[in-house]
Chain A
Amino acid sequence: MTRSKKILIYKLCCVVFALVLLFLPQRSFSYGEIRILATVLGIDGEDGNVQVSAQLAVPVDQNSGGQASTVAKADGGSIGEALENLEIGLGRRVDYGHLSSVVVGKDTKLKDIVKFLGYLMSSGKAGPGTYLVYCSVEPAADFIEKAQSIGESSDAEISSFIAYNRSGNHVAATGILEFLQGMHSLSHAAMLPCVELEDDAKDAAETAASQDGQAKNGAGDEESGGSKNKKLVAANVMAVMGGEKEEILLLDTPCTRGIVWQDPNSAFGLVELHNVQIDGRDISSVPARLTAKHVKRKASVERGENVFTYTIKIKLRLEDAQMLCEPICGNRTKKALEKEFESMVSNNLMEAVAFSKASGIDFLGIRDHFHKFCTKGYRNFDLSSVVVRVNVQATIQT
């Protein structure tokens, strides 16, 4: 073949390629203009009667003045049917590619949650990294509707709120994959962070009451009535589930902190000591910024007993740096503070362990860890008889 013929073939190929790229998308995606994006999905009910609610981002022209997001609800016998009904009701095809969070509503049964989430992940509607939250005080539909009323950008707000908490705050976050991993592991347990919408007005009133009853109108009061009296609050409560139990249990704040301490992904944020005595001084609060955390877990058998050891190393930077300003006393204070922090972490984690043993829900994944790393201990594993040790090493950076 001559060079000119070869060039001709290359040119023809280029033309065909260009034509394919130019014209086929128009044919293939004729429904492009009637799509709508789901950003948050709420699930309530049980298998046989499922209610879904979705926060939807509507593509609108910036100058048109149309609403950029909306909430839609639908029912169905199964989650698949409910989602189909959602599309039928909207008259648009819902695109789940931007789905960032799934909210599970109050009173949803554990087996149904597993089934719904399994469907969402295997159908590709929710990616494995989609955040999962539990609404412990109200149905997911109500939560999403209220969140929508906060403002136009609330669809982004819920997801960025959770994402920020995951990376920049010392609270635990769970994705669909993590949840299903936990439920399908030998521990057969998982946890979900709880979210709720708090009334700013109520908050302000409580603050005012605590300040010797001085009447004070906060921003929430001034702007009360309408959409600005609510705010998303960080999850300081975790819901745990699994084991033999069908119901979902809520942990108290110290137990929740215990879970967060053993979560290597939550390595930043503010932690605080309350009511401590340092060098004979009573200090009501010592806030510190967590700058690094390293968590190591070890399963072993010692004298015939299963022993599970946490080794947690944390680095902290005091927010109130004046406590360490005096060079001689400073070092002593620093050591005392480090001990207090170590004691707090250890107590929080031991409380979570105690709750796990009492409830029979292995949400800390101790059984699974023995299965992976200590087969000998796994053979005669019993959660209630596992000896748990917590070694904490806190370093205050100066």
Chain B
Amino acid sequence: MVTTEKRITSAQLACIVFILGMSLKMLVLPVLLIKSVWRDAAVSIALILSIEFVCLIALTVAFIVAPDERFPVLVQKCFGKWVAKVLFVLFAVYFFFKLILLSGEVRIFFSENLFADFNWQAYSLPLFALCAVMGMGTARAIGRTAQFLLPCIVVAIVVLLALVGAGADLSGILPFLEHGAHNAMRDVVRFSMWYGDYSILVVFLGSVKRTKKTAVVTVAAGFAALLAVLFYSVILISAFSSVADYVRYGQNVMGMSPVMQANLMQGRFDLLFFCIWLFSVFVKAGVLSYAAVTFLCTALPVRQPLCSLIFAALLYFVTMLWGSATGLQSFMIETCAVASFVFQFVAPIVALVVAFAGRHRVKKQGVGKVRAKKDKKKDSVPQAIPNVGKEVGNDAK
């Protein structure tokens, strides 16, 4: 059995879901979509969010169905040791590239919005140090961090959305799909590295203390994140749909409030809230790092702390391969898009398969237990009943 100390509560899971659901998609993705498909970006973002939400529902079902065994153990029992190892490495590589992308987005944000002479090589060190530290952590540590920061993040996002939403004219997104749906659909695949964030949740499969409300709070958190991203994206797309050539990559929720408020007398107190909101991006970086390190440790004979340090160092050096963040974006669009699009569906499918297989196995063992008891009574011969939970706990260790 997974020890109670290493499991996260339903509330913590909901916090993680909310943070994963909205952080990266509010940085550069809407701008990229605007530059690509102009006002049809609203349709693309709606499709993207719908796909993600379906994946979240599938993963929530997996969370409810799965027995109290950690995801690596479930996969090993379902597919065998070597298939599991290959899957884990694939998961880790996927999360690795997502982290590279995230670091690039943060780099664009800081260089375009805050510092003209942003020294990325130096300033990425703290980000990757954070990744290393959180990679060494446990699911419970991640959950607690998310739970601790969530109230601040929620307040910040509510204030920011209120600032940008007041008096916003949303008619800029009309008319929908004037030149057909092809381009909007194409971009859903092209920008697939920017979403599919709920696939990270597989790492928490079997590590959640389930209650009756687990499914409801998880889906509600995902839906709230969906609404926040959609609301903000529609405002941004509406504002820039006719002037897509002029929009800067760094234009995001921070740059929108002075546009919408159009009142210089208020000052820039929105910056304070934006900085708080940025915590969500850093927490997401930590969750990605934790997931990747966990899978690598399971697949390879390396201990978690060392693995985490190597992972962070690798991240740093690979990130430095791209001189510009836009070059990194091109790489993600041209090279990783199709694989990422497929993989975001693979994660919930694998989670569902192993969850149902695990449940089936536990039920069978349960039937076996009853039969054994009956046989015991019948024959009065003592028999050893395998303790499934203990076995799994050992495997997990």
Minimum C-beta distance from B230 to chain A (A) = 19
B175, A371: Cβ atoms under 8 Å? yes
User: Residue B303 at the A interface, CB < 8 A?
Assistant: yes
User: Residue A177 at the B interface, CB < 8 A?
Assistant: yes
Chain A residues in 8 Å Cβ range of B265: 160, 163-164, 167
Minimum C-beta distance from A158 to chain B (A) = 11
User: Residue A127 at the B interface, CB < 8 A?
Assistant: yes
B263, A167: Cβ atoms under 8 Å? yes
A124, B248: Cβ atoms under 8 Å? yes
Chain A residues in 8 Å Cβ range of B174: 372-373
Bound: A59/B245 CA distance, A:
35
Interface string of B235-247 (1 = CB under 8 A from A): 0000110110111
B245, A9: Cβ atoms under 8 Å? no
Given A129-B259, A177-B259, verify A122-B305 contact (CB < 8 Å): no
Q: What DSSP secondary structure best describes chain A's contact surface?
A: helix
Interface string of A153-189 (1 = CB under 8 A from B): 0000001100110110000010101001100110000
Chain A residues in 8 Å Cβ range of B303: 1
User: Residue B21 at the A interface, CB < 8 A?
Assistant: no
User: Residue B3 at the A interface, CB < 8 A?
Assistant: no
Bound: A116/B277 CA distance, A:
34
Chain A residues in 8 Å Cβ range of B133: 9-10, 13
User: Residue B335 at the A interface, CB < 8 A?
Assistant: no
Segment of A16-24, A202-210, A247-255, A351-359 engaged in the interface with chain B: A16-24
B159-176 interface (Cβ within 8 A of A) = 167, 171-172, 174-175
B264, A163: Cβ atoms under 8 Å? yes
Bound: A200/B125 CA distance, A:
59
Chain B residues in 8 Å Cβ range of A10: 133
Which chain B residue lies CB-closest to A30?
B117
Which chain B residue lies CB-closest to A96?
B116
User: Residue B136 at the A interface, CB < 8 A?
Assistant: yes
User: Residue A220 at the B interface, CB < 8 A?
Assistant: no
Interface string of B303-316 (1 = CB under 8 A from A): 11100000000000
A29, B115: Cβ atoms under 8 Å? yes
A118, B175: Cβ atoms under 8 Å? no
Chain A residues in 8 Å Cβ range of B264: 100, 159-160, 163
Chain A residues in 8 Å Cβ range of B136: 1, 6, 9
Which chain B residue lies CB-closest to A117?
B246
Q: Report the interface size for chain A: residues with CB under 8 A from the other chain.
A: 44
Which chain A residue lies CB-closest to B174?
A372
Given A184-B242, A265-B262, verify A28-B175 contact (CB < 8 Å): no
Chain B residues in 8 Å Cβ range of A124: 112, 248, 250
A181, B122: Cβ atoms under 8 Å? no
Bound: A258/B209 CA distance, A:
63
Given A9-B133, A16-B129, A159-B264, verify A28-B259 contact (CB < 8 Å): no
Q: Report the interface size for chain B: residues with CB under 8 A from the other chain.
A: 40
Chain A residues in 8 Å Cβ range of B242: 180-181, 184-185
Which chain A residue lies CB-closest to B306?
A1
Minimum C-beta distance from A33 to chain B (A) = 14
Bound: A197/B112 CA distance, A:
36
User: Residue B126 at the A interface, CB < 8 A?
Assistant: yes
User: Residue A72 at the B interface, CB < 8 A?
Assistant: no
B171, A24: Cβ atoms under 8 Å? no
B122, A20: Cβ atoms under 8 Å? yes
Bound: A92/B347 CA distance, A:
54
Chain B residues in 8 Å Cβ range of A371: 175
Which of A6, A129, A181 contacts B243, CB < 8 Å?
A181
Bound: A40/B250 CA distance, A:
23
Minimum C-beta distance from A10 to chain B (A) = 7
User: Residue A80 at the B interface, CB < 8 A?
Assistant: no
A175, B259: Cβ atoms under 8 Å? yes
Given A13-B133, A17-B129, verify A121-B258 contact (CB < 8 Å): no
B239, A128: Cβ atoms under 8 Å? yes
With most chain A CB atoms within 10 A of its CB, the pick from B118, B132, B259, B304 is: B259
User: Residue A277 at the B interface, CB < 8 A?
Assistant: no
A13, B262: Cβ atoms under 8 Å? no
Given A9-B136, A185-B242, A373-B174, verify A17-B263 contact (CB < 8 Å): no
B248, A20: Cβ atoms under 8 Å? no
User: Residue A375 at the B interface, CB < 8 A?
Assistant: yes
A180, B243: Cβ atoms under 8 Å? yes
Bound: A60/B32 CA distance, A:
41
User: Residue B324 at the A interface, CB < 8 A?
Assistant: no
The 9 closest A-B pairs by CB, nearest first: A372-B174, A129-B259, A129-B258, A184-B242, A122-B246, A28-B119, A163-B264, A128-B259, A121-B246
| 12 A-B pairs (CB sep. < 8 Å) | A1-B304, A13-B132, A16-B126, A24-B119, A27-B122, A124-B112, A124-B248, A128-B259, A166-B263, A175-B259, A177-B240, A375-B175
User: CB within 8 Å of B: which residues of A?
Assistant: 1, 5-6, 9-10, 13, 16-17, 20-21, 24, 27-29, 31, 100, 118, 121-122, 124, 127-129, 131, 159-160, 163-164, 166-167, 173, 175, 177, 180-181, 184-185, 264-265, 369, 371-373, 375
Q: Apart from A9-B133, A127-B259, A369-B171, what are 14 other A-B pairs with CB-CB below 8 Å?
A: A6-B305, A13-B132, A16-B125, A16-B126, A29-B115, A122-B247, A122-B248, A128-B255, A129-B258, A163-B262, A166-B263, A181-B172, A264-B167, A372-B174
